[in-house]
Amino acid sequence: MVEIKSMLNGELIYREDLTRELIIIRVKPDAGVADFIPGQYLAIGLPGSAVRVDWANPEVEAPAPDKIIKRAYSVASPPSEKGYYEFYISLLADGIFTSRLAALKVGDRLFIAPKVTGTFTLTDVPKEKSLILVSTGTGLAPYISMMKDPVTKDRDLTIVHGVRKLSDLAYQDEIKRFSNVKYQPFVSREDNLPSWCNKGRVSAYFMDLSPEQGHVFMCGNPDMIEEGEKVLCSRGFTVHSRKTPGNLHVEKYW
């Protein structure tokens, strides 16, 4: 157990429970925050022996107690925040890692990868292009980092966030404070919504998009992304990769 303890190289310094299944956390790595580009992700982890939250479903097969379970998470804080990384995370009752993360308290230790990585960034997007940033659930995280970074300061941003319930709309107050950001929340499973909130799924938003409007980013649920790819490619968008630049950028969470 001594060895695995030495792999826990970060401390949970903040935890905000938005709902039972949604948290915002901040992790302070012992080695300090690495340089990164908004939109990138890194792995965090806990030992298989870590305690699970009491509302987790029973595990069919317990993971090895002496191994670190690692998962990828988009960084929600901007690179200028040097004290910690912020993450916006969905806790799953069946999740091998998140059922353990859910039981963590401020002051507890966890593994945090030394390097931040990923290509879901604004690096290849021409500066004059508007940005339409579409997400479901915690797929909002990379856009919060982008929004808070000087790279988007003088640009037109639209943040489209699809969730089931109004209470799942994290970061809404912060988003509304940015005058260059248009906020388009979609709530699918609740009625009597406030006037600033759309009823339905983010896929409704795809129907109004054309390539002249800018670059589209999609992050989160793979079903939403596949549906979006189908609709938007039929409207003239092309999926971006380093080798073949396009105007549709995707990050699937599973």
Q: Quick one: tokens of 44?
A: 């965090």
* Sheet with 157-163, side-by-side order of all strands: 198-199, 181-187, 157-163, 131-136, 215-220, 248-252
Alpha carbon distance, N-terminus to C-terminus of the chain: 31
Other CB atoms closer than 10 Å to residue 128's CB: what's the count? 8
Tokens 């990379």 belong to which residue? Answer: 142
Choose the stretch contacting ligand FAD; rule: CB under 6 A; options: 71-79, 126-134, 188-196, 240-248.
71-79
Spatial distance between the Cα atoms of 197 and 169, rounded to a whole number of angstroms: 10
State which amino acid sits at residue 201.
Answer: R
Site string for ligand FAD, 139-158 (x = CB under 6 A): --x-----------------
Number of residues forming the site for ligand FAD (CB under 6 A): 21
Nearer to ligand FAD, 73 or 84 (CB): 73
Question: By CB under 6 A, is residue 90 in contact with ligand FAD?
Answer: yes
- 199-215 in b/e form (b: 16+ CB < 10 A) is eebbbebbeebeeeebb
Map residue 46 onto helix, strand or coil: strand
Instruction: Tell which one of 15, 28, 71, 235 touches ligand FAD (CB under 6 A).
Output: 71
Query: What minimum distance in Å lies between the beta carbon of 7 and ligand FAD?
Result: 17
Instruction: Tell which one of 36, 73, 143, 171 touches ligand FAD (CB under 6 A).
Output: 73
Residues of span 23-52 touching ligand FAD by CB under 6 A? 41
Choose the stretch contacting ligand FAD; rule: CB under 6 A; options: 94-102, 173-181, 195-203, 228-236.
94-102
Residues of span 107-126 touching ligand FAD by CB under 6 A? 118
DSSP 93: T
Site string for ligand FAD, 235-254 (x = CB under 6 A): ----------------x-xx
Choose the stretch contacting ligand FAD; rule: CB under 6 A; options: 81-89, 105-113, 189-197, 206-214.
81-89
**Cα–Cα separations (whole angstroms), residue 80 to 36, 43, 63:** 9, 20, 36
Instruction: Tell which one of 47, 48, 78, 137 touches ligand FAD (CB under 6 A).
Output: 137
- Could you list the residues that contact ligand FAD (CB under 6 A)? 41, 71-74, 87-90, 92, 95-98, 118, 137-138, 141, 251, 253-254
